Amino acid sequence: MNICRKAPRSQNITEKVKPEHLALLVKTEWQLSYVTPLYQFRHTQLKTYARQLSAFIAAEKQQGLAVEVGGLQNTFKVSFSVLQGLAETNDDPETVLIQVQSKPMFARQEDPPKTVWSGWLSCINGNPEYLQSLPKDFTCLPLFCSKGAEGLSSLVKSWLQRTFDCCFGPLDINQTTLQWLAALWTNCHMETNIQKLKMIWTLPVVPPLQVTYTVDSDDALELWRSTRESSAEKSRGAEDEVCIDFSEVTRFMQGLMSHFYRHFRVDLSAGELNQVSSALGSAKLNGKIKISSSRYLISIFSLLTECALLKMPI
């Protein structure tokens, strides 16, 4: 994991990405997984893939595999599309969106089909060295976000695995990443009001104790700034390229925990940080993420792409 990263900047990406696509991605909680590079995946074959996945889901349903959505009468329609504009570098492949819609068998013609499952594969600011090192036939879209019935998630992953010879695994957001997000979101308060920084810890006692520590955003920012100023090598000049070091993140978290300790004499590091949230989004230890503002979508998903790439077997 990078020990030094650029502060996320507010980016207006509505120029690059269609607003209706952005609307699909933000303000929704996604479950994260990582996936190994896809063999012989073609962005030009999306209609074929949609047909094949539809057929696969129908076949699995007939075999009695529990899909739980709606009822046995439902027909599922699958669509694959490209979410243009999210790829940042030349090496990033374009993001692919998969949606599963369901229509009850006896529904009227005018009734619109309901989207019961969505997922997307992406690679945002992926490490160029790694991407360029892959053999020609492999497409790397390591970050997989899904939302909807667990049964459908398994079916979609299962189909992708056998069609593109790839492997899926859960992408847990670990303590380090959660701390990064706490610091990065606080940093964003300089540009965009994050309202509050909320952190949830669990302490290993019986019965388990949950601690929700919510800090006013202006005060969190002042604390963050004070931990950065104490770094000797900061150049006061171009803030654009200013790098944030993980040691600053650690000092920030320690400041928060020491204020807590002063009052309660409870050591939060004895527990586990489970969740971090602000007006910009929320992230949970079990790999669930929600981005509430499209302005920071690219930054946060670059961080997550990095986490996913770290899970690659080679």
Which residues are near other proteins by CB under 8 A? 203-216, 219, 222-223, 226-227, 229-230, 255, 258-260, 262-267, 270-271
Q: Tell me the β-bridge partners of 142.
A: none
Amino acid in position 42: R
CA dihedral 184, 190, 196, 198 (to 10 degrees): 10
Place of tokens 């992408």: 171
Alpha carbon of 260 to those of 178, 268, 281: distances in Å? 18, 8, 24
Going by C-alpha positions, the residue among 13, 58, 71 that lies closest to residue 295 is 13
Q: Least distance to other proteins from the beta carbon of 196, Å?
A: 9
Q: How far apart are the C-alpha atoms of 193 and 162, rounded to whole Å?
A: 45
Please identify, using beta-carbon distances, which residue of 139 and 187 lies nearer to other proteins: 187
Output the 3-class SS for 108-135.
CCCCCCEEEEEEEEECCCCCHHHHHHCC
Beta carbon of residue 201, minimum distance to other proteins (angstroms, whole number):
10
Least CB distance to other proteins at residue 279 (A):
16
Closer to other proteins by Cβ: residue 136 or 265: 265
Distance of CA 205 to the CA centre of its chain: 30
* Alpha-carbon span 305 to 309, nearest angstrom: 6
Residue 285 Cβ vs other proteins, minimum distance, rounded to whole Å: 17
Name which of 64 and 204 has its Cβ closer to other proteins: 204
> Residue 195 Cβ, how far from other proteins at the closest point, in Å?
12
Q: Which residues pair with 144 in a beta bridge?
A: 33, 121
Burial degree of 292 (CB within 10 A; 0-12, 13-18, 19+): middle
If the CB atoms of residues 145 and 257 are measured against other proteins, the closer one turns out to be: 257
Write down the least CB distance from residue 220 to other proteins, Å. 8
Query: Of 89 and 210, which has the nearer Cβ to other proteins?
Result: 210
Residue with Cβ nearer other proteins (73 or 212): 212
Q: What number of residues does the chain have?
A: 314
> Which CB atom, from 191 or from 218, has the smaller least distance to other proteins?
218
For the range 237-241, what are the long-range contacts, defined as Cβ-Cβ under 8 Å and sequence gap of 24 or more?
239/7, 240/9, 241/6
Q: Is 10 left (phi over 0), alpha (psi -120 to 50) or beta?
A: beta
Residue 245 beta carbon to other proteins: minimum distance, rounded to whole angstroms: 17
* Complex with other proteins: residue 150 or 216, whichever CB lies closer: 216
Nearest distance from C-beta of residue 250 to other proteins, angstroms: 12
